Amino acid sequence: MASELPTPTEYVVHHLTNLSVGEGVWTFHPDTIVVSLLTGFLFIGVFWAVARKATAGVPGKLQSFVELVVEFIDDQVKGGFHGPRAFVAPLALTIFVWVLLWNLMDLVPVDWVPYFTWKVFGLEYTRIVPSADINAPFGLSISVLLLIIFYGFKGKGLGYLKELVTHPFGSNPLLWIPNLVLNIVELLAKPLSLALRLFGNLYAAELIFVLIALLPAWIQFVPGGAWAVYHILVVPLQAFIFMTLTIVYLSLAYEEH
Amino acid sequence: MEVSLGTLIAQGITFFIFVYVTMKYVWPPIMQAIVDRREKIADGLAAAERGKTELEKAGARVEDLLRDARSQAQEIVEQANRRANSILEEARSEGQKQRDRQLATAQAEIEQEVSKAREELRSQVALIAVAGAERILAREIDAKAHQDLLQQLATEI
């Protein structure tokens, strides 16, 4: 939208650039932050409204839907994590619904929001899929990393530190360094794989939507429709994988194995 | 696709706030509602089960009562039949006896009548004989007339 007639390359690059504010590492992406806040408040708002009026009697349709989601998550957590669920289950619910809503933004036609924000607010760039901005998945997965470490100490106390230096090779002092290195790599690989899996999937999906948008207008609905339908599978699947792996990682850190 | 530490941290903070709110205000009431409803449904199902067994028990009791009543009715009918038979038998024998008695009385009476008649007849024959003799004596000897008279006498006896 920046120029009158963008070349295909310019169009694609434009669509994959975030609005940014600030310098260097202290750059903010207001589009990602605002969209993820909006989706987050949508989740909290709807679920909270239902929770406030939740009745054990005959539930409304919305309450049934929310209960369906909650029970589904609760079952997943029950199956994967055997400690107290007071925090882990709501955590899993938040991750699942939030990531799901992020991913759903991918189904909004690629030009609508950028065009609107450009016309109305004069913003040069707008990307509305937070999971396709590497910072959002990493923000989430690094939070999960902190929780993994927290749950390691919570479940095993100082034994968690001991485990870091004595596993997997053995407790010989000579092996402490290799053990520690391996464990740190493993620990860091967790948030990295979590974030990159989500980011990769959604980034690629967004890119394909952008490429489809470059086709002649009269044919776009064919690949666009097909890709969107396929996306109905990808969107919840990626949210589900993110959530399930978080539970698994927390469970591994928390329990003896 | 550049790394933006600001976005990253903002996302993390937001995430924890959302998790906190979810944990505090969203999860417990919904879970409570689910658990309560589960209990309600379980109670309802148990009550239904109880009702069913009670119904079965009541059915069995009804069956028993019906069987009892039926057998009792049967017994009563049999008793009544027996009683009717015995009454009939009694009446029959009483009737027989009465008939015999009446028959005997009637026969005795008839016999009495017959002997009475015979007695009367005998006395009348005597009277007729006397009267015949009187008439013969009054008419004197007439063989042919005698013959007629004697004939008449003979038919009158």
CA dihedral A214, A9, A201, A30 (to 10 degrees): -100
**Does pLDDT of A238 surpass 80?**
yes
Q: What is the pLDDT of residue B110?
A: 94
Nearest CA distance, B42 vs chain A (angstrom): 13
B51-72: average pLDDT: 95
- Chain B interface includes A44 (CB < 8 A): yes
Q: Would you call A135 and B3 a contact, using CB atoms and an 8 Å cutoff? A: yes
Tell me how many domains chain A contains: 1
Over residues A97-156, the pLDDT tens digits come to 999 999 998 888 877 888 888 888 877 788 888 888 888 899 999 999 999 999 999 888
Nearest CA distance, A84 vs chain B (angstrom): 13
Tally of CB atoms within 10 A around A13: 13
DSSP E strand boundaries for A8-122: none
Residue B2, in any domain of the structure:
no
Positive/negative CA dihedral, A239, A240, A244, A245? negative
Is the previous residue joined to A168 through a cis bond, with omega within 30 degrees of 0?
yes
Instruction: List chain A residues with CB under 8 Å of B21.
Output: 44, 48
Least confidently predicted of A10-14, A17-21, A187-191, B153-157: B153-157
Q: What is the pLDDT of residue A134?
A: 86
Instruction: List chain B residues with CB under 8 Å of A89.
Output: 27
Least confidently predicted of A24-33, A92-101, B31-40: A24-33
Domain assignment of residue A121, given as a range: 8-18+29-254
Spatial separation of the C-alpha atoms in residues B41 and B47, rounded to whole Å: 10
Instruction: List chain B residues with CB under 8 Å of A40.
Output: 14, 18
Spatial separation of the C-alpha atoms in residues A95 and A131, rounded to whole Å: 12
Cα-flanking dihedrals φ and ψ of residue A88, to 5°?
-65, -40
The token pair at A46 is: 């709807």
Q: What is the pLDDT of residue A1?
A: 42
Residue B12, in any domain of the structure:
no
Residue A2, in any domain of the structure:
no
Tell me how many domains chain B contains: 1
Cβ pairs bridging A and B (under 8 Å): 137
3-state secondary structure of A123: coil
Domain assignment of residue B134, given as a range: 29-156
A39 vs A114, higher pLDDT: A39
What is the 8-class DSSP label of residue A169? T
- Chain B interface includes A11 (CB < 8 A): no
Cβ atoms of B11 and A140 within 8 Å: the answer is yes
- Band (pLDDT 50/70/90 cuts) for residue B139 is low
Over residues B66-118, the pLDDT tens digits come to 999 999 999 999 999 999 999 999 999 999 999 999 999 999 999 999 999 99
Q: What is the pLDDT of residue A61?
A: 85
Residue A207, in any domain of the structure:
yes
- Chain B interface includes A91 (CB < 8 A): yes
Residue B116, in any domain of the structure:
yes
Residue B147, in any domain of the structure:
yes
From the list A29, A40, A67, the residue facing B4 with the nearest CB is A29
Residue A24, in any domain of the structure:
no
The token pair at A101 is: 């809503």
Q: What is the pLDDT of residue A21?
A: 78
- Chain B interface includes A40 (CB < 8 A): yes
Instruction: List chain B residues with CB under 8 Å of A135.
Output: 3-4, 7-8, 11
Task: Tell me the percentage of chain A whose pLDDT exceeds 70.
Answer: 97
Average pLDDT across chain A, whole number: 86
From the list A20, A37, A142, the residue facing B4 with the nearest CB is A20
Q: Would you call A140 and B11 a contact, using CB atoms and an 8 Å cutoff? A: yes
Q: What are the residues facing A28 on neighbouring strands?
A: A21
Cα-flanking dihedrals φ and ψ of residue A21, to 5°?
-130, 135
Nearest CA to A63 out of B45, B26, B15, B24 is that of B26
> What is the pTM (predicted TM-score) of this model?
0.71
Catalytic residues of A: 193, 197, 201
The token pair at B87 is: 């009454």
**Does pLDDT of A4 surpass 70?**
no
ipTM over 0.90 threshold? no
Nearest CA to A191 out of A140, A141, A254 is that of A141
Cβ-count burial of A32 within 10 angstroms (0-12 exposed, 13-18 middle, 19+ buried)?
buried
Spatial separation of the C-alpha atoms in residues A246 and A76, rounded to whole Å: 11
Q: What is the pLDDT of residue B140?
A: 61
Contact partners, residue B39, CB within 8 Å, separation at least 6: A56
